[in-house]
Amino acid sequence: MTCFAALAACDNTPIESESTEELGVSTAAETATRLYATVGDNELSFETLGTFEQRDGVRALVIRATANRYLADVYSYVPDDLFGDANIISERRFEIVLHDGYELNTVLSGLPLFVNVFTNTGTPRSYTARIVVAPRFFDFRGSSGIWIDEEVTPRYVVQPNNNLLYRGHASVSGYVDWLTVTAPDGIPSVYGRPNYRLDWSYPTLQQAMDPHTVPLNFSAGGDNGATMQKTARLVARVTELALTDGDAYEVWPSPPCDPVVSNCYHSQPAGTTDFSQCGTYRQVLRCTY
């Protein structure tokens, strides 16, 4: 048996304050604070918003979950490898810790994380959760003339050191000459007009998300200065949750190269470096071998 939940899309309607209400998965991602799923008589929920803390001498993303049964053990993994740290923090609560660098970048780039959960009561006594963690904008405040896409998507772009780039989008209504993004850290490269690309390397993306309480500032204008301003926070969110009491590798097998993606990738002109039109980073990566 398998149960699945996912966050819905949202808009950029200005808000007065951040919602603290726990909402179901059919609501906007910017206000959904928890995802729920069930298998048998077990229920598991994840807080959607991950927070950064100092763990083992480095910054780490911490994601917390709550079960409806007393926990016996938990561990997290990706196919064929233990991955991250899973710690029971109370009788029914546990946390997943993804350290800055390889662990966090791997998961944010689109690789699902599996969590085996063992309970002392309930049926079944063990099950597997599959979660997807992704960078997302939320808490939009300011001019409705600046639109910021909630999603920041990993893309396959050939670069000197690696081929992973995180890309967001923004647009501005009316005629403006420029859009700028400012922040203490984590400022993206901005390209295009009036539909702008926002590009981050992983280190810059992590800086933009940590701490999650500090927003990025968007300004748009012309020769006479800024005419529109908006802020938004970039955070790491749990965007999908599914449970199964079956074999996780059979329920969620690693996808093969998609023929459509392969045709797109191999049909690009020689010297192409940006393959974002062909799919996400991992969709394209599977077709490069």
CATH numbers and ranges of domains, the chain:
2-9+18-134+236-248 (2.60.40), 136-235 (no CATH)
Residue 260 and residue 50: Cα distance in Å, rounded? 34
Provide the token pair at 231.
């802020």
Environment class of 266 (CB within 10 Å of its CB; exposed 0-12, middle 13-18, buried 19+): exposed
Q: Is 205 helix (H, G, I), strand (E, B) or coil?
A: helix
C-alpha span between 174 and 51 (Å, rounded): 36
Q: Which residue is associated with the tokens 């918003």?
A: 49
Q: Is 287 exposed, middle or buried (CB count within 10 Å of its CB: 0-12, 13-18, 19+)?
A: buried
Of 196, 143, 195, nearest to 14 (Cα)?
A: 143
pLDDT value at position 194? 83
Looking at residue 57, what DSSP letter applies?
T
Residue partners of 281: CB distance under 8 A and separation at least 6: 109, 110, 153, 154, 155, 156, 163, 164, 165
Interatomic CA distance for residues 110 and 245, integer angstroms: 23
Give the dihedral of Cα atoms 95, 96, 100, 102; nearest 10 deg.
170
pLDDT at 1: 57
- Taking 70 as the pLDDT cut, the residues of the chain under it are 1-31
Closest CA to 155 of 147, 144, 164: 164
Q: What is the pLDDT of residue 218?
A: 97
Rounded to the nearest 5°, which phi and psi values hold at 283? -60, -45
Residue 4 is predicted with a pLDDT of 58
Longest pairwise C-alpha distance within the chain:
67
DSSP E strand boundaries for the chain = 2-6, 34-39, 42-47, 51-55, 58-67, 71-78, 81-82, 85-90, 93-99, 113-119, 126-142, 146-148, 153-156, 164-172, 178-182, 189-191, 195-200, 216-222, 225-244
pLDDT, position 12: 54
The pLDDT, as a whole number, for residue 5 is 60
Is the torsion defined by CA of 68, 73, 74, 77 positive or negative?
Answer: negative
Closest CA to 3 of 263, 244, 176: 244
The dihedral over CA atoms of 133, 135, 141, 143, expressed in degrees to the nearest 10, equals -140
The letter for the amino acid at 250 is E
pLDDT at 83: 94
How far, in Å, CA of 137 to CA of 151, rounded? 7
